[in-house]
Amino acid sequence: MKLDKSERRSILVFAILFVLLVLVFVYTVFTWRMDNTQEFVTSITKEDRTKKGENNEDINIFVAMTQKESWPGTDADGKSTIGAEYDGVIFNNSGKNIVDWSMTIYMPKNKNGEPIPGTFDSSWNGEYTNNGDNITFIPADYLNVIPKNEEKTYGFVMYAGTNLDFSEFEICGYYRTILPEYPGFWIATVGFLIWLTWVVAWAVMDARARKLKKQKAHDEKIIEETMQVFANFIDAKDEYTKGHSTRVSFYSQKIAKRMGMSDEEIKMIGYMGLMHDCGKIAIPDDVLNKKGALTEEEREIIKEHTTRGGQMLENFTSLPAIRDGALYHHERYDGKGYPQGLIGKEIPLYARIINVADAFDAMNSDRCYRNRLPKNRILSELRNNAGTQFDPEIVEYMIAMYQEGKI
């Protein structure tokens, strides 16, 4: 499939947009992955414990531990101790889910600054390990995730020489985010949907335009071939001028191109050239192909091929200019032509071009009663009749092309 310039430009724009969307998506996924693999560590002190609250943006995680009830007892060495239930809560105020977390609970210190020894009696919701200085808490599987704005509880029963006031904690874990939380995800997704809609719409319209273009080319071919067949009929009628219409069409197009006309105009003048002598079909053969000199009356009959041609093409409304070529191609620039004696620019431009091409072919072709005229003779005829028979500007184009050997 051959692509034209605008199609190539569209595809380039689509490709650039696609690459940009992919870059946005890749960047978003990368940021998301990074956010999910970075471990956080948060220390919570006694002061932080009272800051719980969804609206408190200063604190991401709230941790507290309170003593529920206590009772006297003795330890294994027979020393008197205090047994107590310590209930804890951890609240996730971070706005993101927390996963794979663990917590360090620092043992309270005595007045000498030493950690107070304690012994576990029982515990729940995870594993607790006391190394003397602190307790490591690994939550049970069902507590592994703390959804945002939710809390989990933990706790144990511990024996110690005194009531314990747990006030220092350290949480570590991972924030778990989901892709739709990132603006880049939506920019890439919505952008891609718009992009896809755009590409599909463009492809449909392009396919339709291609079909129309193909149809148009086919229609033009039919017109062109029909015109050529008619031109063959016309030229077959006049045995002196075989191939004349085709050549006039060719020269007229060359002049039009040299004058800088558009492709459409050049095509039109080509059709006009093919049809310019169609009126000859209505002229009796014995007059048209008469050997020897014509009488005045016979000359007038032949001149009628212009008006007859104009009448024949009157109904050709889809290409109305074609009629002008047939009707006015024997008008002269000085007003002495026929059938209407139009002067100068009154004669339609296309007809003035055909007039020059027609005369040039008459001089440049062999006829059964004479050979083609020599080049210098043709040039001098063209020059001498500029402004009288021919439009002086148009004939200059013809002269230039002929001198350059382009026709």
Q: For the chain, report the end-to-end CA distance as a whole number of angstroms.
A: 35
| Rounded distance between C-alpha atoms, residue 228 and residue 220, angstroms | 12
Q: In this complex, which beta carbon is closest to Fe ion, that of residue 277 or of residue 324?
A: 277
**Least separation in angstroms between CB 330 and Fe ion:** 6
For residue 28, which of 133, 173, 182, 145 has the smallest C-alpha distance?
182
Site for Fe ion in 46-105 (CB under 5 A): none
| Rounded distance between C-alpha atoms, residue 154 and residue 252, angstroms | 100
Tell me which stretch binds Fe ion (CB under 5 A): 35-43, 78-86, 168-176, 277-285: 277-285
**Least separation in angstroms between CB 361 and Fe ion:** 10
**Chain centre distance of CA 342:** 53
Q: Name every residue whose Cβ is closer than 8 Å to that of residue 290 and which is 6 or more positions away in sequence.
A: 298
**Chain centre distance of CA 66:** 65
Q: In this complex, which beta carbon is closest to Fe ion, that of residue 173 or of residue 309?
A: 309
Residue 248 class from Cβ within 10 Å (0-12 exposed, 13-18 middle, 19+ buried)?
buried
Report how many residues bind Fe ion under the rule CB under 5 A: 1
63: left (phi over 0), alpha (psi -120 to 50) or beta: beta
**Least separation in angstroms between CB 404 and Fe ion:** 27
**Least separation in angstroms between CB 358 and Fe ion:** 6
Q: In this complex, which beta carbon is closest to Fe ion, that of residue 24 or of residue 313?
A: 313
Q: CA Rg, the chain, in Å?
A: 50
Q: What is each CA distance from 160 to 19, 44, 120, in whole angstroms?
A: 65, 23, 9
Q: Name every residue whose Cβ is closer than 8 Å to that of residue 256 and which is 6 or more positions away in sequence.
A: 265, 266, 269, 353
Tell me which stretch binds Fe ion (CB under 5 A): 104-112, 146-154, 273-281, 369-377: 273-281
Strands 151-160 and 118-124: antiparallel
Q: In this complex, which beta carbon is closest to Fe ion, that of residue 87 or of residue 304?
A: 304
Which position's Cβ is nearest Fe ion? 277
Q: In this complex, which beta carbon is closest to Fe ion, that of residue 92 or of residue 246?
A: 246
Tell me which stretch binds Fe ion (CB under 5 A): 3-11, 31-39, 169-177, 276-284: 276-284
Site for Fe ion in 103-132 (CB under 5 A): none
Tell me: does residue 238 bind Fe ion (CB under 5 A): no
According to CB under 5 A, which one of 48, 168, 235, 277 is a site residue for Fe ion?
Answer: 277
**Least separation in angstroms between CB 241 and Fe ion:** 9
**Least separation in angstroms between CB 395 and Fe ion:** 17
Site for Fe ion in 7-26 (CB under 5 A): none
Assigned token pair, 54: 């969804």
What does the DSSP assignment read for 245-296?
A: HHHHHHHHHHHHHHTT--HHHHHHHHHHHHHTTGGGGGS-HHHHT-SSPPPH
Q: In this complex, which beta carbon is closest to Fe ion, that of residue 277 or of residue 331?
A: 277
Q: Name every residue whose Cβ is closer than 8 Å to that of residue 199 and which is 6 or more positions away in sequence.
A: 14
Q: Name every residue whose Cβ is closer than 8 Å to that of residue 176 and which is 6 or more positions away in sequence.
A: 36, 96, 97, 98, 99, 145
Tell me which stretch binds Fe ion (CB under 5 A): 69-77, 250-258, 272-280, 281-289: 272-280
348: number of Cβ within 10 Å: 19
Q: In this complex, which beta carbon is closest to Fe ion, that of residue 48 or of residue 277?
A: 277
108 and 164 in contact (C-beta within 8 Å)? yes
**Least separation in angstroms between CB 306 and Fe ion:** 7
**Least separation in angstroms between CB 326 and Fe ion:** 8
Site for Fe ion in 178-197 (CB under 5 A): none
Q: In this complex, which beta carbon is closest to Fe ion, that of residue 168 or of residue 277?
A: 277
Tell me which stretch binds Fe ion (CB under 5 A): 89-97, 202-210, 275-283, 366-374: 275-283
Q: In this complex, which beta carbon is closest to Fe ion, that of residue 103 or of residue 275?
A: 275
Tell me which stretch binds Fe ion (CB under 5 A): 57-65, 238-246, 253-261, 270-278: 270-278
150: number of Cβ within 10 Å: 13
Q: In this complex, which beta carbon is closest to Fe ion, that of residue 109 or of residue 372?
A: 372
Site of interaction with Fe ion (CB under 5 A): 277
